[in-house]
Structure 1
Amino acid sequence: MVESTSLGGWLFERWLRSPLSPVPRRGEEDAVSPGDAKLRPETDLSEKLFGWPDIDFAPDNCVISKFGHEPHKQKAAGDVGIDFSLPTTTGTSVRLSELLKKGPVLMCAVAPSCPHCVAYASDMETFAKEVPITCLAVTVMSPHPENEMCFETGKKWEVPHSKGVSQAKTLEERLRWAELIKEKMPSWVVVADDLSDKINPWWSTYGPAPRCAYLVHATGLICHSWLWWEPDQVRTAVQAYLAQVEQA
C-alpha cells in the first residue's frame, strides 16, 4: 500500500471530499448497547454477492443496481456480527470469535487501489497504537481494478491507484495485497478475504464497501459502523466506548 503523495492522488482526495463529490460522505451510525447479543455462527455468512465471479459486474449487476446507491455496506450499528475465519500472510488463520474473547474488535475493509484506504493507512496505523483493542484489516475486492468493471458502478472507474491493479481472483493474490497492507499497518491484524471457493465470505457479508469499518462488542454486537474511515469520528466513538466499559 503506497501513501497518497502524488499530485493526482492529492487532487482525487480533495475531489472526494468536495461538496460536489457524487460519493456520499456518511458519518457513524448511532451507538447501541450490547444487551444479550450473541455472535452468529459462521454458517450464516453470505455467498457470492452479485454472483461474482460466475457473473461479471455490469450496470445491471452492481451496487447501484442492487441497492440504488453507492457506496453501500451490509451491516449497521445494532446488527449482530457473524463469525468468520480468514487466513493471514503467515499461513495462520484468525477467527473473529477468538479475537472477541480478548475484548472488542475494530475491523475495517481495505484494498490497495482504494484511494481512501491509501490516504488513511498512516492514520490507521497511528490509531492502532493508541487504543487497547484489536484492530483487524480485511483485504477485499478492489473497487478500481485497471481495465475492469467496478463492482459499485458496473462501469470502468479508474483512479490514480488503479494502475497495474487487477481484480484478485485467487487467495494467493489477495494475500499479496495483505502483505502490502501489513507493511503500512504493522500494528493491525491483517487477513485476506478467502477466495478458495470464490465466495468472498467477508465482503459478501460485511461489505461491499472497501473502506467500511465496524466496532464489534465482545458479545458480537456491532456497536458502531462507518461507511468510511473518518479519523475523528472513529477516535471519538472508540474512546467513548472504552470509557463506558471502564465505568461499567
Structure 2
Amino acid sequence: MVMLILRIIGIAVAVVFLGFFVIPMTHGIINPGNIAGTFLCLWLLCVLIPPVHGAIKAFCFKHLFTKIVFRVVNIGFIAFAVYGAIVTSAMVWATCQAPPENSTAIVLGAQVKPWGPSVILRGRIDAAKSYLDDSPNANAVLSGGQGSDEIMSEAQCMYNVLTESGIDSSRLYMEDKSTNTTENIRNSMKIIEDNDLNTDITIVTDGFHQLRARIICSQLGIKGNVGAVSSDTRLLYVPTYAVREWFALPFQLLFR
C-alpha cells in the first residue's frame, strides 16, 4: 500500500511538472530546460506506470543491444535527476543570501520587447525598486546592452522605468555594453570602483539565476560581500529556467 501511494504521488508530480515544461512551449519559450524537463517527466511516467514499464522492458530485453541501451538510458536519467536535485538545492541556498546593508545593487538585464520590458525584466525592475525603497542610502548599477532585436539597451529600459516610478536618477548608474552575465558583473564592478560606490554588492535577478551569478562573482575575484534580491518570477516559467540552469552552470564552471 505504501509503494502504491508513493507511485501515485510520483505520477501526479510528473504530470504536473510535465505541464510546467510543455505549456511554456506554446508561448514560444523553447530551450534546453523545458526540452530536458519534458523528457525527464516522460521517463519518470514510464518507470512509474507498471504496464508501460513492463512493455518497454520486455521489448528491450529481446536483444543485447537494446538491453544495454535500456540500462544506459535509465542510469543516465537517474544520474541527471540526482544532479538536478543537488543543483536545485544550491540554487535555493543562493537565493537566501541576505543583502549587505546599503550594498550596491547590480541589476541584471533581460530582454526588452518593442512595447517595453519583458515579463522577466519587469520582475527584476520591481525587485530593484523594492530594494532601493528599503535601502535609501544604496545605489544601483543597471546592467544590460542592446540586442539586435531590442529597441533600446536593457540598462536604459530599467533606468526609464525606475526613474518614472520615483527612484532618484542620481542613485542609478547605467552599464549598457554587456551581452552576458559575466560581462554584466565585470563591467558593473568597474563602474562601482570608478564611482567609489560600496563594493559590497547585491545581485538583483531571478531566483534561478542567483547561483550562477554568485559563481561568476567568485570567478571574477570580487572581494566584497555578495547578497541576493530575487524577483517574483512567474511560477509557470520557474521549472523551465531552473532546469536550463542545470546546463548553464557546468558550462560556466568549465569554460568561463
Per the TM superposition, whether the score is higher than 0.5 is no
Structure with the greater relative contact order (CA < 8 A, sep ≥ 6): 1 or 2? 1
Q: TM-score, normalised by structure 2?
A: 0.30
Higher-Rg structure is 2
